[in-house]
Structure 1
Amino acid sequence: MGFERWYRRLIDLNERLVFFATAAKGTEGALRDELRQLRLRRIRADRGGVHFEGNRADGWRACLHSRIALRILQQLGTFTAVGSDGLYQAVRQINWALYLNPEVTVAVTSYCKDSVLTHTNYIAQVVKDAIVDQQRERLGQRPSVDRKDPDVHVFVHLVANELTIYLDLAGESLHRRGYRAEALAAPLKENLAAAILRLAKWDPETPFIDPMCGSGTLAIEAALRACNVAPGLLRPKMGFERWASFSKQEASVMAEMRAQAKAAVREAPAPIMAMDIDPQAVELTLANAKLAGVKLAHAVQPLDKLALGTGPGLIAMNPPYGRRLAADSSLYNDIARLIARRRHWTVAVLAGDRSIERALPKATRWQGVFNGDLDSRVLMFES
């Protein structure tokens, strides 16, 4: 059967689909709230992300607008898969011609737990073999493998011999907004910065200050949200737009979605301030902000010189930790004094070390998060 016949069997745009939005550990609740604000349906937070349901365009909308998700995975099917043959046959039940042709590249990422098959690389190889064998039999050619920048990225989860197959809608991880020209050491990921803003219950109608801006991620994410810039507008194309079956009708829907998002962009209603004691950090922040298309108020000054209005607003920061902590004890004294004089402001501190908590007043509340592999806490000091 030729590709054109398989192509015509495109899934209806209105067909109900199941998605899983992945997130950094500890930010699942913030992502759930964000997806609710996007009016997605059947939302359920889980470890490592949030499930939701909708039509194909709902998945695209999540890719375009989510600030906190890392990936939007579209579920293709669930199967019992015991051993290599069971896995191979399960994967072949998917009609891969909907997504692949010989001109489209593919990569497979796998996760396994409590199953007969225990090696993720081997599982990925079996899945890849099943996909390319089906393509070769039906189309006479096989797709190429590209692990770095595939057109189609397949994710498989094998838990207790139950297989779930997903496709990554976005392609490259959504935290890669494209505005980071350069970064100082250990920059904060964009999705975690966006999650901190939501965890702190920041109102984008009010001012924001990052008094130790580093590469500017917190301030830029605040500006993007205040200006209502959908983060997906910063990338030229989503992964699903490279699928073999992405039709002119779908391209028209996506173009309209982007046009509506662009029309919703506005000026920030309140100042977004980035400051640092290091002039290089402020210069780098402004360069990154220019790439993001946002404007920031800025200053080169130490924390103890920060003048606060009456508020309300949010002050958020990612201060040094670990081996740098002892050398920066005066800095943490300055942070403690800032917290004491916050009045109607909320202060959010990303603490990558428990010693930070001992150096500061007791937080009103906190949320555990993972900053990469680092078990951290977002400490929130509220009025």
Structure 2
Amino acid sequence: MKNFQMVAKTFFGFEDILAEELLQLGAQKIEKGTRMVSFQGDKGFMYKANLALRTALKILKPIKQFKVYNEKSLYNGIKSIDWSKYLKLHQSFVIDVTVNSEQFTHTQFVALKSKDAIVDQFKENFDDRPDIDKEYPDLRIHVHIQKDQCTVSLDSSGESLHHRGYRTATNIAPINEVLAAGILLLSGWSGNSDFLDPMCGSGTFLVEAAMIACNIPPNINRKEFAFEKWNDWDADLFETIEESLLKKIKDFPYTLTGFDKAPSAVKKAIDNIENANLSEYIEVKHENFFETKKEENRPLHIVFNPPYGERLNIELERFYKEIGDTLKQGYPDTQAWFITGNIEALKYVGLKPSRKIKLFNGKLESRLVKYEMYAGSKKQKYQNQ
């Protein structure tokens, strides 16, 4: 099978970990960009990337690049592609557009012109045309214009890859699954200690942490990928790739625990964990983190997404102070990480973060912060080494 170029799209700040994931999976010619990483692989690798990448939102397969200066050059460029290779008359398609250009400012306009070019080509060649279907298209086409450079790609994923297929119940402000997986990887989580999410909501961090720890492909529960409707879809190859990934699953000898003080969140988390077939690894408790202490005398990795005050009505100063106090008093020998969109509130924690990473949660600029809680004093720790 021939290798071809692909592009994995991701969130700002995840480019390095996505490149590392691709390297581990066996991708070739990996190059980092902004919110994306390009790489090479064959068709089987495209299937594997969709199944196994934790921090990718989409896997695109570029089929043509050309310069665009105006509406005419866009239309001609799109029309110069032989669309009958990718699309049959009875099939449907949709066009997604991203633009960063002075010449083209409206995504809707670019989508319309691109659609016209494809439809006109079919009409001229076959006196008929494929339909548009925004909900369930047979082919998802991605048109990306960067200044005067237009890249046309086929979207091999379909719905964004954060739709893992396990989360049916969500609470007020659920964290995106790809964002959760990326935060866990940035925090250094690899499954080598106990894990706690003390404000677990609908359980996304817990599920993603268990999948990382057990090396379970993140999209194994997903119902479908866009490439399953492509003309060159190879079901046997897909099954072989899936089986080879499932053989690499390993056991996890530590504990994964979630707390939430809302009984409704606990129930939702348990439902989602069951959907992901991970109940044997994860325990969810109805607890208020601020009234807890560490249970085991061994290293603990904490990752959580506290309320920001954006959607939830909380007294921020007191709330963030209690996070700091609880960690200080009850959680020695712990690495604690959390993400917050309320950067001001961090000063109330009363602890100095050892790391701060800029990320975005949706459109909200956020910080992922790390607090290291030592057993005894920090000075002692270094004297003992």
Which of 296, 317, 323 does residue 309 from structure 1 map onto? 296
Where does residue 337 of structure 1 map in the other structure?
Answer: 325
Where does residue 9 of structure 1 map in the other structure?
Answer: none
The answer to whether the 8 Å contact 2:259/2:286 transfers is yes
Q: Distance in 1 between matches of 2:328 and 2:153?
A: 48
Where does residue 346 of structure 2 map in the other structure?
Answer: 357
The answer to whether the 8 Å contact 2:4/2:42 transfers is yes
Q: Distance in 2 between matches of 1:269 and 1:276?
A: 23
Please report how far the alpha carbon of residue 183 of structure 1 lies from its aligned counterpart in structure 2 after TM superposition: 0.9
Does 2:137 correspond to 1:147? no
Deviations 1:249-302 (A, max 9, x none): x22211101122223334433211111111211111000111111121121111
- Is the alpha carbon distance of 1:76 and 1:307 closer, same or farther for their aligned partners in structure 2, counting shifts above 3 Å? same
Query: What TM-score do you get using the length of structure 2 for normalisation?
Result: 0.90
Aligned residue identity for 1:354 = I
Which of 181, 185, 192 does residue 168 from structure 2 map onto? 181
Please report how far the alpha carbon of residue 44 of structure 1 lies from its aligned counterpart in structure 2 after TM superposition: 2.0
Q: Distance in 2 between matches of 1:139 and 1:245?
A: 22
Aligned residue identity for 2:345 = I
Which of 355, 372, 379 does residue 362 from structure 2 map onto? 372
Please report how far the alpha carbon of residue 140 of structure 1 lies from its aligned counterpart in structure 2 after TM superposition: 4.1
- Secondary structure at 2:154's aligned position in 1? strand
Q: Distance in 1 between matches of 2:272 and 2:14?
A: 24
Pairs within 5 Å for 1:1-383: 13-14=1-2, 16-246=3-233, 250-295=234-279, 296-303=282-289, 304-322=291-309, 324=312, 327-340=315-328, 342-360=331-349, 361-382=351-372
Where does residue 381 of structure 2 map in the other structure?
Answer: none
Deviations 1:219-258 (A, max 9, x none): 1111122222212211132101101332xxx222111011
Q: Which moved more, 1:43-52 or 1:137-146?
A: 137-146
Deviations 1:337-358 (A, max 9, x none): 2433543321111111012311
Aligned residue identity for 2:231 = A
Task: Please list every run of 5 or more consecutive structure 2 residues that lacks an aligned counterpart in the other structure.
Answer: 375-385
The answer to whether the 8 Å contact 2:193/2:300 transfers is yes
The answer to whether the 8 Å contact 1:282/1:300 transfers is yes
Please report how far the alpha carbon of residue 328 of structure 1 lies from its aligned counterpart in structure 2 after TM superposition: 4.8
Q: Which moved more, 1:357-366 or 1:209-218?
A: 357-366
Where does residue 6 of structure 1 map in the other structure?
Answer: none
Aligned residue identity for 1:221 = E
Moved over 6 A (4+): none
Q: Distance in 1 between matches of 2:249 and 2:228?
A: 23
Q: Distance in 1 between matches of 2:295 and 2:16?
A: 30
Please report how far the alpha carbon of residue 37 of structure 1 lies from its aligned counterpart in structure 2 after TM superposition: 1.9
Q: Distance in 1 between matches of 2:272 and 2:55?
A: 19
Q: Distance in 1 between matches of 2:361 and 2:66?
A: 33
- Is the alpha carbon distance of 1:134 and 1:310 closer, same or farther for their aligned partners in structure 2, counting shifts above 3 Å? farther
- Is the alpha carbon distance of 1:112 and 1:328 closer, same or farther for their aligned partners in structure 2, counting shifts above 3 Å? closer
- Is the alpha carbon distance of 1:37 and 1:356 closer, same or farther for their aligned partners in structure 2, counting shifts above 3 Å? farther
**Bigger RCO of structures 1 and 2 (CA < 8 A, at least 6 apart):** 1
Please report how far the alpha carbon of residue 310 of structure 1 lies from its aligned counterpart in structure 2 after TM superposition: 3.5
Q: Distance in 2 between matches of 1:244 and 1:56?
A: 13
The answer to whether the 8 Å contact 2:189/2:209 transfers is no
Aligned residues: 367
- Secondary structure at 2:178's aligned position in 1? helix
The answer to whether the 8 Å contact 1:104/1:243 transfers is no
The answer to whether the 8 Å contact 2:304/2:338 transfers is yes
The answer to whether the 8 Å contact 1:317/1:350 transfers is yes
Deviations 1:198-235 (A, max 9, x none): 01001213221101111111111111222222122111
Please report how far the alpha carbon of residue 160 of structure 1 lies from its aligned counterpart in structure 2 after TM superposition: 2.3
Deviations 1:32-89 (A, max 9, x none): 2222222212222211121112222222211110111111111112101221221111
- Is the alpha carbon distance of 1:328 and 1:354 closer, same or farther for their aligned partners in structure 2, counting shifts above 3 Å? closer
Q: Please tell me the root mean square deviation across aligned C-alpha atoms, in Å.
A: 1.9
Q: Aligned residues: percent identity? A: 31
Aligned residue identity for 1:36 = L
Q: Distance in 2 between matches of 1:158 and 1:357?
A: 38
Aligned residue identity for 1:147 = K
- Secondary structure at 1:234's aligned position in 2? coil
Please report how far the alpha carbon of residue 170 of structure 1 lies from its aligned counterpart in structure 2 after TM superposition: 0.6
Aligned residue identity for 2:121 = Q
